[in-house]
Amino acid sequence: MSSLTKTLIALKKKSEGGLIAFIIAGDPDESKSLIAASAVIEGGADVLELGLPFSDPVADGPTIQAAGQRALNAGMTPDRYFKFVSKVHEKHPKTPLVCLTYYNLVLKRGLEKFASDMKTAGIDGLICPDIPLE
């Protein structure tokens, strides 16, 4: 059972809601993102969603688009993202981590490779807002 599932079950048993925080990995740079990730976890986040920036974020609003662009400008790539997430997971192994990205990045990397990289990095879940429901 993933740490995400365990966390959600534990919250449900206590009839509590959970705090899911979100940051774009690499915004404004990797070192500050790592500080931000630790701060939200240490501040009480039950789950941390880490955005993998994409150059055409059609489902995001202007704030997240700008954060993603800053991360891309700072050099964030899928390879660097998975290394970054590994650092977050190493520092906070009990906190569930979720990847938010666009399906194009998943397809480009390959479904099996992306899933394997997620597992190796310590990611418990994936959100792709642009996957068609059909």
CA dist., res. 27 & res. 111, Å (int): 26
User: Is 117 labeled as catalytic in the residue annotation?
Assistant: no
Q: What is the amino acid identity at position 7? A: T
CA dist., res. 83 & res. 75, Å (int): 13
CB neighbour class for 47 (10 Å; exposed up to 12, middle 13-18, buried from 19): buried
From the list 27, 30, 46, 60, the catalytic residue is: 60
From the list 49, 79, 90, 130, the catalytic residue is: 49
User: Is 56 labeled as catalytic in the residue annotation?
Assistant: no
Catalytic residues: 49, 60
